[in-house]
Structure 1
């Protein structure tokens, strides 16, 4: 009977050891699964942030560069080359409101300057609408800085020299 008790105790201890090991493995598997889930969730958030920043950068780049130049820098492959192109005939125009800084006033009459900014926004939007018309398709908005509006004509990528003069002459209306 003594031998039977010793085997039963050893068997019980072995069974307890097996249960403890299985429980530890289960907890470890649970911990790894939770950690993996949290890492994947964090990765998803970070990827969404990257995509958002990529979209913002694309909009900003397209806003400050001509469309064909922005596309050069937005290509998927990494390029270390700077963009350059040679044109024989290019025109640049700066339209500015003289003394805008003196006109801009942050008083209660101008709603803390909002009326001045609204007027400036209207003028810039009118210029932008004009550039959408087909007869101004050869003109590219370069940038707006404060009250200065900058555009250029003659930046026709991929067009042969003189093609704009011969085939795409703009009629004045």
Structure 2
């Protein structure tokens, strides 16, 4: 039980860092992309999806190691025998879809429960990030000068087209 609890903490921290870095890099480079505003929103959604996909695979690797290799827990229903099966279990847990083919047993229940809570929080986080991007770029749709306006130097931006989505830290 202690190993699975410790692994859960490490997995939560690792997936938070992965999504944080994904969103941070997206924010830093979004304004500099030489694409119209609508494609910037698409880039945000794809980046968030990539961050969530990485998080799912991190949990899948943990299931493979902890459940299939070390025997800390199990899955009932359709047998889970490969990394791909673990990825399916992870997607189901992370997205809070619910169990169908595979159900966790023993210590795997703790890991899938933590993953579901983690996925819920991270999906909400990326949804709010997407909202910020849409709030910034959506009004530029349909304007002939949208691309130029998005990359032009604005006094509030400080640097041409490099304004991140998040507000500056207090005291800066």
TM-score by shorter chain over 0.5: no
TM-score interval, smaller chain: under 0.3
By relative contact order (CA 8 Å, sep 6+), the higher-ranking structure is 2
Q: TM-score, normalised by structure 2?
A: 0.24
Q: TM-score, normalised by structure 1?
A: 0.24
- Structure with greater helix percent: 2
